[in-house]
């Protein structure tokens, strides 16, 4: 099997765990199907805050109690078996906000009223404003969902830029499944994806606009490419063949980025029974005021 640099061991521990906060994002691809794996990994990886995407359940169906028993508070928004985002935290969960200002709406059919889908959830955890984001897929170039995706990203960029104008020292993490591979290094084959979503210039420009709004990819410096991915399709043995994409990111505001001491794409969690098709992505953040 081709070597994947993401297998090269765990991140630095950021010093004493009491002096760092560990923040992760994971597209779990159905929390009810993945619950044992998610809980097991949270405990093993000593994660403080986890942003989840594609929970694929309504609020009443989300398994809050097992998280609570493990010491986590949970905020979740989900309306049905599609989409759904959540934040689980053991360092506080305050000022929960469903959706961001200006978030576009979507309707699957002309005769159905457009609504803001369950794709964005914000909460303040340990002094960090964490946003769990599930960017629309886009489906195909020219599809109405592709136009919706670009509008969604533009609205996020405008709103996030506004947060930093209001408070340049804001500690913000935009974490989730962005459904964009920002560079050719982020896909296993440019020929395979030619003419597809996730790699088109408008999508990459939309991602770049968020970065230009001062939200840095804080994982890349610790997981350089090419060949480092966060997603592998279930079909065609994509995972054992190392044929993936890097589409899950944590983008941090300047004040937060300056505190990141380590990061990792946890490729091993894509292995084994009942795995999500995405791997968790995590960062260690130096605590400004050490715990204890």
Annotated binding site for Mg(2+): 27, 54, 177, 179, 277-278
C-alpha to C-alpha distance for 15 and 179, rounded to whole angstroms? 33
Burial 195-216 (b: 16+ CB within 10 A, else e): eebbbbeebbebbebbeebbbb
DSSP secondary structure letter of residue 106: B
Buried b (16+ CB within 10 A) or exposed e, 56-85: bbeeebbbbeebeeeebbbbbbbeeeebbb
The answer to whether 140 and 197 are in contact (CB under 8 A) is: yes
Residue of 146, 148, 177, 284 with catalytic role? 177
Whether 177 is a known active-site residue: answer: yes
Question: For residues 245 and 172, what is the distance between their CA atoms, to the nearest angstrom?
Answer: 25
Q: List Cα–Cα distances, 208 to 23, 171, 195, 196, 217, in angstroms.
A: 23, 20, 19, 18, 10
From the annotation, which residues make up the binding site?
A: 27, 54, 177, 179, 277-278
CA distance 248 to 283: 13
What pairing do the DSSP bridges indicate for beta strands 172-177 and 128-134?
Answer: parallel
134 is catalytic: yes
Q: Which of 48, 72, 76, 134 is catalytic?
A: 134
**Alpha-carbon span 179 to 149, nearest angstrom:** 9
Indicate which residue of 76, 146, 148, 278 is catalytic: 278
Buried/exposed code over 217-228 (b: 16+ C-beta within 10 A; e: otherwise): bbbbebbeeebb
Tell me how many degrees the CA angle 30-35-41 measures, rounded to the nearest 5.
115
Q: What is the rounded CA–CA span in Å between residue 107 and residue 123?
A: 26
Alpha-carbon span 61 to 255, nearest angstrom: 36
- Catalytic residue annotation: 134, 177, 278
């Amino acid at each position: 099997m081709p070597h994947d640099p993401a297998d090269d061991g765990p991140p630095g521990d950021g010093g004493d765990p009491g002096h760092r906060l560990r923040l992760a994002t994971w597209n779990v691809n159905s929390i009810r199907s993945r619950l044992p794996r998610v809980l097991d990994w949270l405990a093993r990886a000593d994660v403080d805050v986890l942003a989840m995407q594609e929970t694929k359940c309504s609020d009443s169906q989300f398994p809050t109690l097992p998280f609570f028993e493990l010491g986590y508070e949970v905020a979740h928004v989900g309306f049905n078996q599609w989409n759904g985002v959540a934040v689980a935290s053991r360092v506080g969960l305050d000022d929960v906000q469903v959706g961001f200002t200006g978030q576009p709406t979507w309707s699957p059919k002309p005769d159905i009223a457009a609504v803001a889908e369950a794709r964005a959830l914000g909460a303040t955890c340990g002094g960090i404003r964490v946003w769990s984001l599930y960017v629309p897929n886009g489906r195909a170039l020219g599809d109405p969902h592709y136009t919706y995706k670009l509008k969604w990203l533009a609205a996020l960029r405008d709103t996030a830029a506004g947060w930093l104008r209001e408070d340049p020292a804001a500690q913000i993490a935009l974490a989730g499944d962005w459904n964009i591979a920002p560079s050719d290094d982020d896909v296993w084959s440019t020929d395979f994806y030619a003419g597809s979503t996730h790699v088109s210039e408008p999508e990459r420009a939309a991602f770049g606009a968020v970065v230009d709004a001062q939200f840095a990819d804080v994982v890349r410096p610790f997981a350089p490419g090419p060949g480092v991915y966060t997603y592998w399709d279930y079909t065609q043995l994509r995972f054992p063949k190392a044929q993936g994409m890097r589409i899950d990111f944590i983008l941090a505001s300047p004040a937060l980025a300056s505190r990141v001491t380590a990061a990792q794409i946890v490729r091993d969690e894509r292995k084994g029974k009942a795995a999500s098709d995405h791997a968790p992505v995590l960062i260690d953040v130096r605590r400004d005021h050490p715990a204890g």
